[in-house]
């Protein structure tokens, strides 16, 4: 797999990750991420036919099932107090308009 990253590839990934990069960041990341991808490509040589990709091999003793019982949570007033912007009287976070 060719891992050469174009500047447009970097811009596309940045958009997916909700990052706005400067042109110099785009160039730096294209080179650095290209090197990193070239290097991680060594794993392609491993024979993984039929190998489970899950965490089946992870140690676990957790029985993740529990009863679905409502318990007290954080108070809305406390939560929005730490927000960058909120309307406390309405108990809501406030954000810029979507459009």
Find out whether 66 and 54 touch, Cβ atoms under 8 Å.
Answer: no
The number of CA neighbours under 13 Å toward the Cβ of 83 is 15
For residue 27, give the nearest of 42, 5, 60, 53 by alpha carbon.
5
Please tell me whether residue 74 binds other proteins under the rule CB under 8 A: yes
| Residue from 2, 58, 70, 89 binding other proteins (CB under 8 A) | 58
Contacts to other proteins from residues 5-24, by CB under 8 A: 9-10, 13-14, 16-21
Find out whether 11 and 27 touch, Cβ atoms under 8 Å.
Answer: no
Instruction: Return residues touching other proteins (CB under 8 A).
Output: 1, 9-10, 13-14, 16-21, 25, 29, 32-33, 35-37, 39-44, 46, 48, 51-64, 66, 74, 78-79, 82-85, 93, 95-99
């Amino acid at each position: 797999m060719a891992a050469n990253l174009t500047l447009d590839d970097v811009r596309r990934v940045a958009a997916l990750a909700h990052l706005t990069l400067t042109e110099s960041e785009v160039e730096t990341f294209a080179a650095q991420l290209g090197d990193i991808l070239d290097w991680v490509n060594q794993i392609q040589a491993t024979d993984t036919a039929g190998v489970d990709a899950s965490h089946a091999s992870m140690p676990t003793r957790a029985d993740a099932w529990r009863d679905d019982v409502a318990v007290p949570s954080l108070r809305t007033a406390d939560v929005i107090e730490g927000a960058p912007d909120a309307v406390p009287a309405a108990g809501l976070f406030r954000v810029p308009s979507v459009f």
